[in-house]
Every structure is written in C-alpha cells, then in structure tokens.
Structure 1
Amino acid sequence: MELGISMFGDLQIDKATGKFQSAGQRLSEIIEEIKLMDEVGLDYFGMGEHHRPDYAVPTPEIVLAAAATVTKNIKLGSAVSVLSSSDPVKLYQNFAMIDQLSGGRAELMAGRGSFIESFPLFGYNLHDYDALFAEKLDLLLTINNNERVTWQGKFRAALNDQEILPRAVGDKLAIWIAVGGTPASVVRAGQLGLPLMIAIIGGSPAQFQPLFELYKKTYLESGHDPAQFQVGIHSHALFGDNDAELSKAYYPLYAAQMDRVGRSRGWPPYQRTQFDFGKSKHGALFIGEPAAMVDKILHMQELFGLTRFAAHMDIGAPSHSMMMKSIEVYGTKIVPQVRAAIRN
C-alpha cells in the first residue's frame, strides 16, 4: 500500500485582522513540506485545485512542477484537478511536462469538483455538470492513448488529426478518478479500468464498504487486469506525539474551516462531539499519536483492500511548524510500522 499526503493549500487567518495569509508565503511553505515528505520516504503527494479566498492553489500543476525540482522519489499528482471546467488538451500537456521534469513521477487525478467556483469562472454552466465531466474524461483518455487525436464533442472545439505534445514519460500518464461517494462515478471508474480514490471525510468509513465492493466487481467484470487494480482513500489527518496536545491545538482550526465551508452548504455548526467521534476507531479522522494511527490505517487497508492511503493534512491551515511535525511523525513513526505490518 502506498502512503502519502494530500493538501488543498489552506491559508491561515490572522485572528486580529481577519485577513488571510499571503499566498506566496503559503506556497513557499508547501514546497518545503513536500521536500520533507520526499526525505522521509513517503510515496505520494497530491495538491488540490480551488478558486476561493481561503485556498492558495488554483493550479496544482504549478506547485507540482516546482516540487519536481526539489524531490527525487515521491509521486506528484493533483488531488484533484477539476476536469469538468478544464481543457483536457492543456491539462494533459501540463501534466506531461511535470512527468518529464520529474522523471515519470506525475499523476493526474480527475474529479467533477465538490466546489463549484471554477464553473462560472471559466464560463461553464452548472446544468452541464455531469455531461461536462463525461465528455472531458473521454477526451483526456483519448489523448492519453493517442499522440494524434481526431475527436468531436459538444462542449469543446473538435480536433482533427491534431498532434498532442509533449508526451508523458513512457507515452502514458497515470490517471486516477476521484469520487465523493456517488455509485455511478464508482461504476464509471471500474468500467474504464481507472484507479479510484474515494474521499472519506466524515461519518463512519465502514458505510463506504459497498462502494469498494461495487468498484472491484465492476472492474473485474469489465475485463481489466487484477494486477493493475488500484484503490485508495483520502481522509483528513494530522499527526503528533501527544494526542491531547494535538487535539487541543488543532480542534479550533479544524472546526473553523468546517464551519466556513459549511455555511455555503447549509451545514449546522461543527461540534466537538463530531471531532471526537471522527478520531475514534470507527470515525473518519486520522488525527492522533503514531500507535493509534498505525492501527487505524491498517484497519482501513484490511476493510477496503486499499492500495493507497492519502492523509489530507492541511484542513484549517495548521501552522507550518505543525505541518512539518506531522509529516515527520508520519514518515518516521507511522509509515515504517504500517509497511512492516503489511509485509508480515
């Protein structure tokens, strides 16, 4: 099982002024954090795409390209790229360039987008939400499989024997599908034989087990190679040496961010009981000390047959020092024990 980290580039808020941290400062911190991930031996890093004032990264490719120059081994991907409001040609070219820069370490994780700010920003109609994703995924996969492309759709100008360059290393880019729990999206990934990442950020993860079973069943019935089967989860996480101290410092930041997002979605105010349940064995939060986190990650691996676990680590903008500590604990104390347990 691959063990990695994803981020959205959350910006800290100055309590005195209410102003967000500068994007430049946070971007510099993110590069330093990715460099540490590589040094402690993590397998994967993913960067999300958002077009909101509380996030620093509207274009994951820029961060990943910068990270490619300061890392040696870690895979570098999006988490996610909002494919529905992107141009698949340009998206492929950008990630092919990262793949070339990094020596074949780039991945593209495509999603429909749980945040919708990019649709009006780039001139798309939300009524076309599903149709946009289906069409653009078709074009992206066509480009990934063919250097010269002839293609026609509804939302983009047609391509007539158009050469798409540069190509990814080995001519094929690793492309994942990310979903939030919609069965139809899971079935689509299985039918296409694409690796699947499921976001589990609340409630009880066990409730998602039918989706994993549906994906595997669809994948195998569609005739895809069992040896190439890949499935992962993305869950909110932060690690430290002392659970009580970590929770005391992190809960206010986490709750504030959940409330910021929740206000636009009609969620009730976030409660400490939700946080405490999430941290429990049966919850979806991976926040705590190494021993408990090792057990929880291994439990998820056994429950779902995971080939990847992504600890989503900057919800609510913990400080750079908290992030560096969390990455260090993950890479030096949690990951080695998980790997040893899986080998045995």
Structure 2
Amino acid sequence: MQWSTALLLALTAPSSALIRFQCSQLVRERLDPLVSPGLVPSPHVHQIVGGNSFNATMEQAKDMPGESTCTTCQFSEDFSNYWTAVLYFRARNGTYKRVPQHANAGFDGSTGGGMTVYYMQDPLYDTAQKSKVTAFKPGFRMFVGDINARTKEQAAHFRQLTYTCMDDAGSREHETVAFPNHVCPYGIMTSTRFPTCWDGVNYDSPDHMAHMAYPVNGTFESAAPCPATHPVRTSQVMYEVIWDTSSFNDPNDWPEDGKQPFVWSFGDATGYGNHGDYVFGWKDQALQNILDTQCYASSCGGKQQSIADMNKCAGLKETVSEDIDGWLDALPGGHQAQYS
C-alpha cells in the first residue's frame, strides 16, 4: 500500500497543533483485528475506544467514517480505533480481578474511564508545536511494543512505553518502564507513545511496525532527525490510560512473595510487555485541517461532541461472550501471571 506523490508533497504544509482529547470506552473483549484479524476470540482481552465499526477483521478497513455511525471520541469526525491490553489484579490466593479505569482530569464521566489521545508534532511540553507533519490517511495502521518482553533489555527498543505511579489525579513525574513495585494511592497511568518516522510508502507492514521507526541518535523529545529509511516525520500518537488501583492498595492482599500484584491480560506481570494498537479513521481532511491550525488541546476546533454524546456510542455489542470482570482463576484465554 502506497501514498501518492501529491500526498508526499503535502508534507511541506505548516503544522502547529497539539491535539489532546478524551475517548470513552467502546468495548472490552478478546478481539484484535490488527494482530490476529478474524480470530474469535483473540488471545487476550483489550479495551477499545473510537468508531463503532470496530470488528474482528478490519483487514481492509479504509472507510471507517463510512462504516461507523458514531464514535466514543471527543472529535466527532474521528472514527479511528485505539486499543490497549487490560490490567488485572492478582490476589494473594492467585485469583484475578479486572482493574477499573479513571477518566483523565477534566474528562470526568467518560464511560469506562476510556483513554486520552494525543497527536503531537513536538514534545508535550513544547506548546509552540513548530514542526511540519502530515496526517495519516485511510488504511494506515500501526502497533508498538513487544508482548513477549519480560526484561528491561527486551523492552529497550520501545523506550517510550511507561508507567506513572500516581499519588493524585495530577501526578505526571517519575515514569518507569516496568510496573511500579509499591502502592500507588490514586492509580497507575500507562503512557503509550508510537514512533514518529514513516517510510513514506507503506500504510502497514507484516509486523505492523516496520513501516515506522524512532528518530536516530536521540528521541522524539530531543527533536532528533528521522533515519534515511524512514524520512517522513509524523505526529506522535500517544495514549494515556489511568488504571484505578485504589481498591487493591492493601499490601495484605498482595502476593505473599512480595511481588507487585498487577498483570496485563496476556499474563505479563513485569510491565515490559506493554503495547498499543492504532487504526486510522479520521473523516476526509479533518485531522490535517486541525494539524494546520494554531491550537492547543481542546481549543483545536474541528467538530467536537460532549462527553454525554461520546458516551451514547459506548457499549458496542460484544462478539465474545465470557466473564472478564469477576474473580477469575485464570486470565481470559487461560493466561497466568508471568514474572520472567
């Protein structure tokens, strides 16, 4: 899959937006149309936000605005789908319980807590956003992370997947690449940052990663250049998900061996296997128009809807019928906690 020369020339257009918005939760279930399209159920539970055309296949999903009737995201022309794995608590007796989610500060009332999505030309702290980028186009998709990573070394390539142990709703410091090993009074925030350098040709790749790359000799935060193999600079897509761990903060309920008690729905109890999935689905030129506008966060114009209207799209009918919320002897799909 390729983009035309005309689209590549559009990269010279100026961009100056930092887009930050909330999406209510669409559905939680074992579906993964990016990594395991058509497999019902997929290996582990995900939590998904965005357009309601989300389904088990989506292999050729290029007209998500046309296929969707609504979206759980604040921008009503964003029918993209964004998803992550789901966090569980492992009790002292070995059973598991799904960890609920907080909505981010300022977005109270979002169904299921959802997630906050960013599109950034420059680091979050740089409100000028002076870099020139282009919006993705229909058919674009990507994945970040290594589901099999269980050590810091194995996760090193994906250095921008982090955790923040939150004392309160405003906590944003001391990010780690592994699960926090102590009580987090308010919750644990996961930040999933996707690569920002595109090969200029492919919408996707077999592993959903090879068409994208990180900057060379530095990071997105240091404004390092893109590699020659991936010369096109794109916005950094970032997810923030806040897991409400407050109900599980009694150390007497934690495993007796002293290990931290949280585990991803695919069995990773180290945190190094953190990952995220993205399928682009903005309508027409809506995203590019916003990127070409001087704006910040919720002032970015476009067609926006209220949290109440976002929530009307939540609750997509489940394809997989199973208990993912009770106290479980094993994680859905038969997974058990893995600490190495």
Q: Same fold (TM over 0.5)?
A: no
TM-score of the pair, normalised by structure 2: 0.25
Larger helix proportion of the pair: 1
**Relative contact order, higher structure (CA 8 A, sep 6+):** 2
Q: Larger % of strand: which?
A: 2
